[in-house]
Amino acid sequence: MTEPANRDSIQQAAVDWFARLQGAAALEDWTTFQAWLEADPAHAAAYDAVEALWVELDDAPANDDAPLADTVAPPRRRAEPPTRRWLWTGAATAAAAAAIVLAVLPQLTRPIFTDYSTQRGETREVALADGSKLTLGGATQLRVRLGRGQRDVTLVDGEATFDVAHQAARPFVVAVADREVRVLGTEFNILSHDDRLAVTVRRGVVAVSGGGEAAVRLSKGQQLIHARGAQGSLVRATDPDAAFAWKSGKLVYRQTPLPEVVADLNRYVATPIRVDPSAASVKVSGVLLIDKEAAMIRRLELFAPIVSQASGGEIVLKAKAARP
């Protein structure tokens, strides 16, 4: 018998014993069970795992991917001899115990967080079980965990909007870069890419904290700009609709440094774009339509004194005066 098959048989035996001992087990059953436990350390480990799994059911997070955790209320006591065992009766109940353990096992052994992502140029809408709605921009990765006491999101990279359902006793917390954004119910946009973080509020109030600094409260029409690892952040008034414009296929810029614009474009185009040192100080103002790659580059050349040049599998943007 192979090792995986042996593990499977031990696990099945542990589940069978667990279910059997919840019914009207006789004294000889407990004696046989004790002998099975002592026959191999793997037996005791497998039984402990099944029993721990049963107890964990009551504490499992109320995630939208783990509905059984909310509907099963398991006992908390360990299987013991007849004088102290659970007061369950009937073989049908014992069989049900085994069935539930086997059904819920995959739920508790998979990752707690649910991952969502998009490719370059792709957007994706996500409706969470709590009523919140997320929209992911191009090349974005985030993770979601809906716990009973708190809703947690980690924005790994990219850009997303959050329309958060109000739940006073269940904060919605986004971990992003070296900061944390905490809300109860609001609508805001977060951009986190290339060590640059921007949090823009369109409705409600959010609190941004981290880096050993006091929390910064942002309300409608305010934006926080922060560079990863830097001390302090910039808070400024802004048009929140401009930050949300990418959802309707537009990128809005007002005197934005060209490297920041290119960082955005690189999440929507297939060919990497790079800024030549000669154009590093160029500022861009205008509305770029999220379109085909060539069209976006042409429009960018109209908004700023730059030219594009294909070179070695990438597009290089140079200042016009530096054109060869």
Provide the 8-state DSSP code for 164: P
* Lookup result for tokens 């001390």: 231
Q: Are 197 and 206 in contact (CB under 8 A)?
A: no
User: Amino acid letter at 145?
Assistant: R
Query: For residue 6, what are the contacts with CB-CB under 8 A and spacing of at least 6?
Result: none
User: Is the model more confident about 51 or about 37?
Assistant: 37
Identity of the residue numbered 248 = S
Q: What angle do CA 148, 198, 208 make, to 5 degrees?
A: 45
CA distance 248 to 190: 16
The last residue of one of the domains, among 77, 109, 141, is: 109
Q: Is the pLDDT of residue 83 over 60?
A: no
Closest CA to 265 of 322, 311, 308, 221: 308
For residues 266-288, average pLDDT: 93
Q: Would you say 15 and 49 are in contact if contact means Cβ atoms under 8 Å apart?
A: no
141 in the same domain as 78: no
> Is 100 in the same domain as 122?
no
d(CA 115, CA 192): 17
pLDDT range class, residue 86, cuts 50, 70, 90: very low
Does 90 reside within a domain?
yes
Q: Is the pLDDT of residue 82 over 50?
A: no
% of the chain surpassing 70 pLDDT:
77
Tell me which residue range forms the domain holding 35: 3-109
Q: Of 59 and 313, which is predicted with more confidence? A: 313
Element (H, E) at 269: none
Is residue 287 a part of any domain in this protein? yes
Greatest Cα pair distance, the chain, in angstroms, is 93
Residue 222 lies in a domain: yes
pLDDT for 11 equals 80
The whole-number pLDDT of residue 122 equals: 93
Final residue of a domain: which of 186, 214, 238? 238
Residues sharing a CB contact under 8 Å with residue 163, sequence separation 6 or more, in sequence order: 132, 133, 134, 187
Q: Tell me what pLDDT residue 229 has.
A: 77
Domain count, the chain: 3
Higher-confidence position of 31 and 209: 209
Question: Position of tokens 């069970």?
Answer: 33
**Is the pLDDT confidence value at 283 over 70?**
yes
Cβ-contact 252, 242 below 8 angstroms = yes
CA 91 from centre of chain: 42
Q: For 293, list phi and psi in degrees, rounded to 5.
A: -55, -50
Q: Distance (Å, rounded) from C-alpha 90 to C-alpha 98?
A: 13
For residues 303 and 259, what is the distance between their CA atoms, to the nearest angstrom?
14
Confidence label for 95 from pLDDT (cuts 50, 70 and 90):
low
Residue 184 falls within a domain, yes or no? Answer: yes
3-state secondary structure of 121: coil
Domain termination site, one of 238, 259, 291: 238
Q: How many residues does the chain have?
A: 324
Count other C-beta atoms under 10 Å from residue 210's C-beta: 17
Give the predicted TM-score (pTM) of the model. 0.63
Does residue 145 lie within any of the structural domains?
Answer: yes
Is pLDDT larger for residue 87 or for residue 161? 161
On whether the CB atoms of residues 283 and 259 are closer than 8 A, the answer is no
Which of 21-25, 76-80, 114-118, 285-289 shows the lowest mean pLDDT across its residues?
A: 76-80
